Amino acid sequence: MDTHKVSELKAFVTSCRSDPSILHHPSLAFFRDYLQSLGARLPPQAMSKNPMKGENDDEMTKAAPDSVDKKPYQKPEDAAIEDEIIESDMELDGELVEPDNGPPQKMGDPSTEVSEESRDVAQMCKAKAMNAMSEGKLDESIEFLTEAILLNPSSAILYATRASVFVKLHKPNAAIRDSDAALQINPDSAKGYKYRGMAKAMLGQWEEAASDLHVASKLDYDEEINSVLKKVEPNAHKIEEHRRKYERLRKEREAQKIERERQRQRAEANAVYEMGKKESTSENKAFDAEPKDPDSLAALQDGSVISIHSSNELQTKMTAAVRLSRLVILYFTATWCGPCRFMAPIYKALAEKHRNIVFLKVDIDELGNDAHRWNVNSVPTFFFVKDGKEVDKVVGADKSGLERKIAMHAAKP
């Protein structure tokens, strides 16, 4: 490289290190795109003096202060994650040809019954085609081979031979059609793989070309295949390395997004936890401030679910709650009830959290009369009782509904 240009590049890099905001100058948009395509992270644009600023930039900024986009601040790493990965161009070697998109060549009817006479005539046509090819009369060779294929459409070698002529005529799509037909007749046709690989190389389909040529080489090696492979394989390797690089970058970017979302969810969970701690502290303070009735307090078990086994016991707990102005949740359940088993640990956790609320539990099979008295039609059912009177209820295994109504009634004086 020109040493003078290298010196100028070094000076530019030094300037960027001292003032990274240079990179955000509009004239360097192409350079930013290139850096980002390589996975580089650019620093956020800063409101600093830019030595590359144009003469009229200050005037334009003053004239249109509202034209600046007011976007929420993003951390540099977050902005880099949001940027789309732009793949860089690859420098591949080899000459390509314009695809032949004309009408397809005539193909034989595979359902045709081929007689011995037709096979003999087809062989004569093939011989004429080979003579024409040796004389450089490729179009004439195609005509003879087409006639031979129509006479004997079950011959893979005829299709493969015509494919070889289409390759010489730089008609890769026609060659691919003939190669496909040859391989459909004979899946082990080395010439079918060979000429399809050569045709795909002409179209720049380097990886597919390399695959076909490798198969052809295993079936029937020749120097022409080896010569083409030497040109095709380097491009196929470059494409594979390019694809792996950007697949790795996309996986890294996706992992970063997942981690960022995990951190966001963790932060939200911590916020909810802290809020719950504050609410619990407020409830405990209210509990500490309530009048102390030793007999009533003895009848209740703060922070626990109290199982009721008799009507008298239920009445005692209710009376104690009234004396202490406590909210009561009366939970009717049954041992055979699946939804009740689901709600049991939830109900216990709520009792531990809301220590100034009385959590009672009644089995309807044990205290059927009490269940009838409370008009329990299904389980689980949760009655909210204040001052001995029902104020609300939740029917069914509705966790969110139960939590919502506890929060609503616990907040009331």
Q: For helices 190-202 and 206-219, give the axis angle rounded to 10 degrees.
A: 160
- In the numeric block, the tokens 């037909």 are attached to 181
125 is catalytic: no
- Active-site pick, 320, 340, 350, 360: 340
16 is catalytic: no
- Active-site pick, 199, 306, 321, 337: 337
CA dihedral 173, 97, 220, 114 (to 10 degrees): 30
Q: Which residues pair with 363 in a beta bridge?
A: 333
376 with 364: CB under 8 angstroms?
Answer: yes
Q: Order of strands, edge to edge, in the sheet holding 327-333?
A: 305-308, 357-363, 327-333, 381-386, 389-395
Neighbours of 189 (CB within 10 A): 24
Instruction: Decide the pairing of beta strands 305-308 and 357-363.
Output: parallel
Neighbours of 259 (CB within 10 A): 11
Instruction: Decide the pairing of beta strands 389-395 and 327-333.
Output: unpaired
Q: Which amino acid is it at 330?
A: L
3-state class percentages of the chain: helix first, strand second, coil last, to nearest 5: 60, 10, 30
What's 20's DSSP letter? G
**Which residues are known to be catalytic?**
337, 340
